[in-house]
Chain A
Amino acid sequence: MEESDVKKPVKALLIGGSAGSLQVLFHLLPLLNKTLPFAIIVVLHRRHSADSSLSELLSTKTALRTHEVDDKDVILPGHIYLAPADYHLLIEKGETFSLDYSEKVNFSRPSIDVTFESAAEVYGSSLAALLLSGANEDGTKGLLAVKKTGGITLVQNPETAQMPYMPNYALAHAVIDHVCDIAQMAHFINTLH
């Protein structure tokens, strides 16, 4: 991975994933620095209202403060935010979250596209977005939006993904800056600022 073009100031890192992405996070989160100067916003597909303790589980893997988002929460650097089950997660101009219980997008709520597109509008080029393992097409439109407003796009190397369909679909339809395995993701995130 090149070092030169990753040194942009970033206000938020988006991570989207579906089937097979939880294991990636379990390996990735312990590799992250204890302090990071930007927020990490995680959108995972999960079963309706099940595993509401997911944020607690993720918090055992990292020193960064981890929360499942409540409506109108303020977005702070150095925190990890998880989209709640069964709501779309949107980002408002004042860097607060809002939630939305509208129709599923890509058969998913939360939808990765919805959060990524909304973040791209607010953060523009101060944004990085990473798409992980999964078995559907969610996330690709979101990466397109991030790229269009000048953000950085990354996908998990499909060869390392339990479900390569999602990263492969993104690689085929969007401009992706970096394709990475878990160690490369960690290096990328730790050197972002």
Chain B
Amino acid sequence: MIEDEEVEILLTDLLDIYGYDFTSYSRASLKRRIVRLVSIDKFPSFAEFRYKVRTDENYLKRFVEEITVNVTEMFRDPTFYKSLREDILPVLGTKPFIRVWHAGCSTGEEVFSMAILLKEAGLLRKSLLYATDLNPSVLEKVRKGIFPMHQMKQYSESYIESGGLKDFSEYYTANYGQAKFDKELSEKIIISTHNLVSDSSFNEFDLILCRNVLIYFDKDLQDRVLKLFDASLGTLGYLALGTKETLKFSVIQNKYKQLNREKIWKKVM
């Protein structure tokens, strides 16, 4: 078992040596993932684990990849995507150019879902999707646009539930158990590392999606990140969060109006 103090020591190491700041992450989840990693990689003690993280840059990569949760899926919460189709894209479509930011995009399933929505609305050509994550190795997967074939049945069902009318398999080529998504979609995706904890605003967007990322942050960091989103959204821009995340009690709450039951807010001030 790992003590709470040992978790704090490790977080200080990461900040001092590498500049990765996990000190404002929710502790229960963070500790659980550290315990899990120590167990999977069979470290006999915390001291040995700490030594490896401190001294081996390759292991640091693995650490960051395993500590940050990278579980995601396409068209997750289909009613959310239905609302994007029906309520948001028609409004964005009136703009000459559409900028979308997927903050903490992980392996990119949601970015490709969005690209498909934009294509079906006839808006992909005038859109750019910025996909960012703090973790360079997951961004490699976004760049390739390749996802495991066995998930396509589930994704196809969610796609249809979201209001999709096509045959979902039109969007990818199946090969050796992998589904490679059309180049037309990935050409509009700009990929870059961005750490929500330490990096600042880099553009002005019409829509920011950050779903199931804030749940890993403590209240203070949530507020800081929401301010960053606010600074990165144009007036009347939209902010979309995960189904259990909220702007309630946040510092930016008064400037936003929730659209419907989905967790989408419009910037009204």
Contacts and interface: CB of A to CB of B under 8 A. Distances in A.
B244 A70 contact: yes
**In this complex, which of A91, A93, A98, A114 has the most chain B Cβ atoms within 10 angstroms of its Cβ?**
A98
A173 interface: no
A100 interface: yes
Contacts of A99: 215, 244
Contacts of B244: 69-71, 84, 87, 99
Nearest to A85: B243
A99 B244 CA distance: 8
A103 to B, nearest CB: 6
Given A84-B244, A87-B244, A72 B32 contact: no
A14 to B, nearest CB: 14
A91 B28 contact: yes
Interface in B197-251: 212, 214-216, 219, 222, 242-246, 248
Contacts of B69: 100-102
A121 B29 CA distance: 12
A92 interface: yes
> How many of chain A's residues touch chain B, expressed as a range?
20 to 34
Contacts of A84: 243-244
A118 interface: yes
Contact of A98 (B29, B71, B77, B248): B29
A87 B248 CA distance: 20
Interface in A88-119: 88, 90-93, 98-103, 114, 117-118
Interface of B: 26-29, 32-33, 69, 71, 77, 212, 214-216, 219, 222, 242-246, 248
Instruction: Report, nearest first, the 3 A-B pairs whose CB atoms are least far apart.
Output: A90-B28, A98-B26, A102-B69
Given A49-B77, A70-B245, A101-B69, 5 more contacts: A70-B248, A98-B26, A101-B212, A114-B32, A122-B28
